[in-house]
Chain A
Amino acid sequence: MEFFSNTNIDFLGKKWYFLAFSLVFSVAGLFSLLFWHHIPYGVDFRGGTLVYVKFSHTPNDNALRAAMDRAGLHNAKIQRFGPVSDNEELIDLDVQETSEQALDQGKTKIINTLAVNAPAGKQDLNNSSFLTIKNYLMDKDPMHLGSDADQKYSQQAQAIVNTRDKVQGGVLSSFDQLKSAVDPAVVASLPDAFFLSDYGVFNVEIVGPQVGAQLRRQALLATAYSLLGMLIYLGFRFELIYGIAAVVTVFHDTLITVGAFSLLNKEISLTVIAAILTLIGYSNNDTIVVFDRIRENIKLMRREKLSEIVNRSINQTLSRTILTAGLTFLTVLALYLFGGEVLRGFSLALVIGILIGTYSSIAIAAPILVAYQDWRIEKGKRPSAMAGRAK
């Protein structure tokens, strides 16, 4: 089977279309970055509090919002997390709700707001930790154990936590649900000290302003160092202009990807930055494959014009370019569709980036080389050999 053999497309002839296409997307992204959604920082970078809550019934967003408002959390953003059937909500507070003294004050407020009908003096089993449950069992000793109580009650507490979190998905709606895994005496004693609320907090992220700023700086540095690393390596392996062309191309990809996140108002988290750095590597792969072929063909076709050589090289590697992009795209698409809610932003960045990265090595990187050569000739200098120093 073969999709592309002996293609002969004049890619360089279409460079103005490519330029127009790239400009439209870059400018749209830039516009959104500057004037519309700006950079939609995730909690890692802007600081703030995210509390993920699972309910035992379908929650009413409006009622929840009203409750948060009454508790003084006026800027709380409440959104569904995952499919409706999961009954999961994400409550998002901005950085003002964290304080120097008590980083988790926002989280405490949310939990106090949710725990409306708590019986006095009892703890909520759905939000109790293993240590709390074990301590209670050790104090109460419902199984009347002697010497090995510590180990036995550790097991029992673990069984309770496991049933709640792994079997029931995070929320117990009745003590009876514990019966299959936990000793009956323990189950019978639990209601003395515990009650069951209708929710469980299953994930909390709190980032103070200081760490947010720290992470922002690091993400920027990491991206900059990554680009610099490429420039140096390619300058060393090929020629400086190849390095510059590759870095401009990758910068173009990064801008469009970040721009797309801004346009879609999707949050940029730490993992999205990881995805963007991966794209820098991936897009470079693509560019290098084309450049390698150009370098090889320059030696073979000494009489031809550079634009002719570049066109030929792109066509020769087109089959590989499309296949690899297609296959990587398949895996990334699988991630996007099946990888779950936590990886959604990460895989979205990869989905966008692989499309753009593949396009740009043909449409941006190669034309830059030709444009540079034309510019040198125009200035009356000898055309650069372009062959690169390496083998």
Chain B
Amino acid sequence: MNKNLLWKLGLIVAVLLVFLFGIFGIPQSFSGSGLLDAMTKRINLGLDLRGGTHLILQVQVNDAVNIDSDNAIEVLKEQLNKRKITFADISKPDAQNAPDHVVLKGVPPEARKDLLDIVSERLPEYDLGSGSDNSFTLTMKPQMLSELKTKAVTQAIETIRNRIDSLGVSEPTIQEHSLGQYQILVQLPGVDDPGRVKDIMQSTAMLEIKQVLGGPYASEQAALQEKGGVLPPDAMLLPGHAASGAAAGEEAWYLVSRVSAVRGKDLRDAQASTDQNGQPDVSFTLTGEGGQRFYAFTSAHVGDSLGVVLDGKVQEVANIKEAIRDTGTISGGSMNQQQAKDLSMILRSGALPAGIKYLEERSVGPSLGTDSIRAGVRAAIVGMLAVLIFMLIYYRAAGINADIALLLNLVILLGFMGYFDAVLTLPGIAGVILTVGMGVDSNVLIFERIREELRNGKTPPSAVDQGFSHAWITIVDTHVTTIVSAAILFLFGTGPVKGFAVTLTFGLLANLFTAVFVSRVIFDWILSRKERGEALSI
């Protein structure tokens, strides 16, 4: 054997070892199950094979914008009052679709300069425009608007991650879903009944403490009637439950202050606990700054009532007996222990900056995953054996060559998967099988060409040489076009389909090496052992 050939053979063995390591790592034992264990550690299975839940969520980014523009309205009112500028009305004409659009009506024209000052000093993220009849419009600067929306998505991802982590779900995927706008992709391996997890993720957990100005009322209408049909401008009605009296536990409405004394971000910690009657509740602690504000508020309102509001529902109404610095509880009636635990966890993880909606939900039970693996592997083995045997019969000795190349192709493909942390899905297994079918095409192309050259009277060495060089151009063209399809699939696909694109691409890349390089080395080796003019078994 000449030196060049030896060098190439060494390279092939090295590649084989490198990719075997990619598949198995260093296995604990070399028994069948030991190898299988080692392999499942290196190659990640997709949700469709291991079971789990896949969710796509939509972040209602307009919520976040509404919070910001509500705040802007408050600032505007405060400043206008301070500068003694009269105005008729400040409102958002279309909070649903244009949440950043604030209209200010009935301002005297000479106040324009003041207004410009207010906006540039206190609301720099807004543009001021003037409309007809002494009205002005405030709209958020487009760049600010898109930043705010993006931030809402990032924050939502962060919050959801905190919540899922504390539930003890292992290896979750939580990321922005690039195929849609303001969407989040959540994958939870091993969770096949997503009900509770979904509720926990969706809870906005917006905690506020407000002053209770009146109530409980039996209904919204009753409250309005009591107030003579008009609510004070700085108050609002919120639903809750009556705490005591004949109607305890029934739905009731409270009149509360619009401004919150404490907000969710003032929260430092929340823990599930039990009250003096042994009922589960949640106690919370405020941050230093939040505590100071709470102290100021409670000092000023001793004797009044305060309400703990969660997600727009009054959970708890209590009388302020003395100034409180930084603690409080939420019991909200009939919480059980699990709900108390979940609520405290949700509060700890922080509020979602905006509501979320579920757009897609898929959950695969582990039994289906196990069945799929079994079926996929069976199909792979049957398909492979059929091809391997056929090649042996049709090409005789050269068939061994093709079979070695095919097996090596498979090893490299799986090794790639191990190295790149690629995910093997059920369509991915199909991709492996398809690689066998399409990979053998390169061998067939080369072998048929060699046979043709032999028929034309070439000597075996020159036939092999011609066969490889002619087929090479075709092989490159065919591989590139298929990889183009696979790349597009990867870009546009999700989950299982992406897994398919990955295995197909790796398989084809590996095939370039095995069908062309490895196969050629084997031919050269066979030829080097033959006498001049001896026939080639093909």
Q: Is A166 in contact with B370, judged by CB distance below 8 angstroms? A: yes
Q: Which residue of chain A has the shortest Cβ distance to B492 in the bound complex?
A: A222
- Size of chain B's interface in residues, with CB distance under 8 A? 89
B312 within 8 Å of A (CB atoms): no
Cross-chain contact B436 with A331 (CB below 8 angstroms): yes
Task: Indicate with 1 or 0, residue by residue over B437-461, a CB within 8 angstroms of chain A CB atoms.
Answer: 1101100110010011001000000
- Residues of B with C-beta under 8 A to A221: 492
In the bound assembly, the distance between CA atoms of A1 and B496 in angstroms comes to 40
In this assembly, does A218 line the interface, its C-beta being within 8 Å of a C-beta of chain B? yes
Q: Mark A337-370, 1 if CB is under 8 A from B, else 0.
A: 1111111001100100000000000000000000
Instruction: Say if the beta carbon of B328 comes within 8 Å of chain A.
Output: no
- Count of A residues near B, CB < 8 Å? 88
Contact of A328 among B438, B485, B491 (CB under 8 A): B438
Complex: how many Å from CA A104 to CA B199? 12
The proximity string for A residues 4-29 relative to B, scoring 1 for CB distances below 8 Å and 0 otherwise, is 01100000000000000000000000
Q: What residues of chain B lie closer than 8 Å to A130, measured between beta carbons?
A: 190-191
A337 and B438 CA atoms in complex are apart in Å by: 19
Measured between beta carbons, the chain A residues less than 8 angstroms from B196 are 129, 131-132
Q: With A208-B360, A282-B438, A334-B386 in contact, do A166 and B492 touch (Cβ < 8 Å)?
A: no
B9 within 8 A of A: no
Report yes or no: B362 in contact with A205, Cβ–Cβ below 8 A. Answer: yes
Give the complex CA separation of A385 and B439 in angstroms: 33
Residue contact B489 to A274, C-beta cutoff 8 Å:
yes
Give the contacting residue for B493; candidates A274, A324, A329, A342; CB below 8 A.
A274
With beta carbons under 8 angstroms apart, the residue of A104, A169, A218 that contacts B367 is A169
Q: Give A280 to B357 CA distance when docked, in angstroms.
A: 37
Within 8 A of B (CB), among A195-218: 200-208, 210-211, 214, 218
Are A288 and B478 touching (Cβ within 8 A)? yes
Stretch of A56-64, A181-189, A225-233, A258-266 lying at the B interface: A225-233
Verify if B393 is at the interface (C-beta below 8 Å from A): yes
Contacts of A67 in B (CB 8 A): none
Is there an interface contact between A131 and B358, defined as CB atoms closer than 8 Å? no
Which of B198, B365, B473 touches A292 (beta carbons < 8 Å)? Answer: B473
* A231 nearest CB across to chain B (Å): 11
Q: Does A237 contact B (CB under 8 A)?
A: yes
Cβ contact within 8 Å between A323 and B58: no
Are A331 and B386 in contact (CB-based, < 8 A)?
A: yes
Measured CA separation A218–B243 after assembly (Å) = 53
Stretch at the interface among B77-85, B426-434, B518-526: B426-434
Beta-carbon contact of A331 and B383 below 8 Å: yes
Q: Enumerate chain B residues within 8 angstroms of A323, measured Cβ to Cβ.
A: 394, 444, 448
- A159 to B167: give the CA distance in the assembly, Å: 19
A80 within 8 A of B: no
Nearest B residue to A88 by beta-carbon distance? Answer: B368
A194 at the interface (CB under 8 A from B): no
Tell me the nearest residue of chain A to B485, going by C-beta.
Answer: A281
Closest chain-B Cβ to A276's Cβ sits at a distance in Å of 10
CB distance A284 to B482 under 8 Å?
Answer: yes
What residues on A are CB-neighbors of B360 within 8 Å? Answer: 103, 206-208, 211
Cα A219 to Cα B488 in complex, Å, equals: 10
- Asked whether B484 lies within 8 Å of A229 as measured between CB atoms, the reply is yes
How far, in Å, is B274 (CB) from chain A's closest CB?
14
| Stretch in B109-117, B206-214, B371-379 with 4+ CB within 8 Å of A | B371-379
Give the shortest distance, in Å, between A56 (CB) and chain B (any CB): 13
**Which A residues lie at the B interface, using CB under 8 A?**
1-2, 5-6, 52, 54, 100-101, 103-104, 127-132, 135, 139, 161-162, 165-166, 169-170, 200-208, 210-211, 214, 218-219, 221-222, 225-226, 229-230, 233-234, 237, 270-271, 273-274, 277-278, 280-282, 284-285, 288-289, 292, 296, 316-317, 319-320, 323-324, 327-335, 337-343, 346-347, 350, 391
Binding site for A on B (CB under 8 A): 48, 51, 56, 58, 167-168, 179-180, 190-193, 195-198, 337-338, 357-368, 370-372, 374-376, 378-380, 382-384, 386-387, 390-391, 393-396, 426-427, 430, 433-434, 436-438, 440-441, 444-445, 448, 451-452, 455, 470, 473-474, 477-478, 480-486, 488-489, 491-494, 496-497, 500-501, 504
